[in-house]
Structure 1
Amino acid sequence: MQATSRRTVYLIDASIYIFRAWFSVPDSMRGENGMPVNALYGFCRFLTEFAEKSNASHVGIAFDESLTQSFRNELYPAYKMNRELPPEDLKKQFKYCKRLAEAAGFHCVGHDRYEADDIIATWSANMRRAGFRNAIVSGDKDLAQLLQGEDFWWDFARNVQLDSYGVTQKFGVPPECIQDYLGLCGDAVDNIPGVPGVGPKTASVLLSEFGSMERMYDNLDAITQLPIRGAKSLPEKLATHKEVAMLSKLLATVAYDAPIDASPDLLQRRSAEVSSLQEIGHIMGGRGDGLFARLAEASNRVA
């Protein structure tokens, strides 16, 4: 990626890193009164490493609070219904993860009907208008659709950063086609159906040729001439499942109008609240004190 003189705002999808911590840190880690703190500890480690590596001055952290009650469930009740709800031991830690991030000086937002993806999308549009480039910190390919210009997608856990060109190389379609791609081949993680029998390679070829699902549906007859296995029967298959394909694209498309206060000034890093960090440290039974010190130092360095 080329260097830029524009300021960078880092927009973090918190749930991915909390769940990663839950599965990677032993659940035998307990804090005050025997409360499990493995996810909290792992999330603290992520925040600390992120703060030290990025030295970010502007950060927004989005939390998923809609679960199976987002507006997308109104469009398609089965959306994400294949997922198990977080176990109680993890649920207890979510609120402390949010409290930890706020105490470290990060701006945090969740919503009961809009997902973290939508909060991040809404921030990204506002911050772009304010002259920032967006760094989307997530391992979720859905969020790659947000990239424009000098923006980049950062899979922090794997230390992979991709600009628009890198996204195209990795997923086979440019950022602006990610939602079309998922509309065609579906997404098992979110229970988005897609078109039966259309896989990633076929979706990539179709979108490379037509640029969007809408233009593809306007030119179904031309598909028979494309170098795709089963090209002769594909137009009929796509026509038969057009309604579910368009619904799938809608489900995969992020909303840029989440009802949140997306003022750029809110994402300015604040100094760490040491007393609040100490309170969380007490809840953790003293575990992570070294991380808290590093996190406070990194926060105060740029605040």
Structure 2
Amino acid sequence: MDKKIKLKIADMKKHYKNGDGVDGINIDVHEGEFVTMLGPSGCGKSTILRTLGGFLSVDSGDILIDGVSVKNLPPEKRPTAMVFQSYNLWPHMTVSENLAFGLEIKKISKNEIKAEVERGLALVNMSGFEKKYPGQLSGGQQQRVAIARALLLKPSVLLLDEPFSALDAKIRSQMREELKRIQEELNITVVFVTHDQEEAMALSHRIVVMNKGVIEQIGTPEEIYDRPATQFVASFIGDMNFLMENDGSAMAVRPEDIVITKGVTEGQICGRVRTVMVLGHYAEINVEVGDQVIKAYVTRAAAEEIKPRDAVSLLFTKTCKYCA
């Protein structure tokens, strides 16, 4: 990528008193890039985000935005804006007043603030809600206002800490699409934190997969999914079958990379169908192979030919191998 580096995290370390934290963090985020920190709870992704925003100090290493170190600056002095899971809107202020608050601190004129507030609300499809209070809005609407408020500060880097996790599935999906549209429209640089792999895959230009305070892999969604660098990444991203080999290594295969045929075929892995489950436009078939169960995804048409207890053969079209 030939775009300039907007954010650079250089050999950053942050440990808590209990020993948890992150170590050896090196990430370059380019201008206009959407980078997601992905991993299970407690892996360190929110720790990194909070050090970027200035809410946590770093033990060592550096954080540079537009080539300038910000590691010793307080949050209000950094060219960042953060959107939290909990919205953090002032309940006693109207939507308009919430959006104007940060601009008033910057001593911007009233006319300019009014224009900016209108622009921000239009950007998140909330025009006409200026006089509403947060308590009169749904969770999704409150999060739209929180995003608009952050964008009006014109940050060099927008930080989002699991902003959609409190929303129900349908609203969360809508908000993802809205955020993707806004990010591309404004070409803003975003660092996003989530434990939801589907969210990360849908939104990101690149994903940073975290585990126990260290980075397991950095790559595009396609690279992370198709070529997971470690067994942890393979198991965390999408569904994966692991077949243990005699040498203790593991062969991994995605359910969609398995072709099932009825009957026993010499040279292929054979087993017996345990369950067939239709899941909308495709079906999941679970096959008992020895003491393991292998999951495969097939078309509904293919599933109609296969019944529980049928003897079947499995052909793997793509696999990964991980050493013991």
TM over 0.5: no
Give the TM interval when normalised to the shorter protein: 0.3 to 0.5
Task: Give TM-score, length-normalised by structure 2.
Answer: 0.31
* Larger Rg, first or second structure (1 or 2): 2
Task: Give TM-score, length-normalised by structure 1.
Answer: 0.32
Structure with higher helix content = 1
Structure with higher strand content = 2
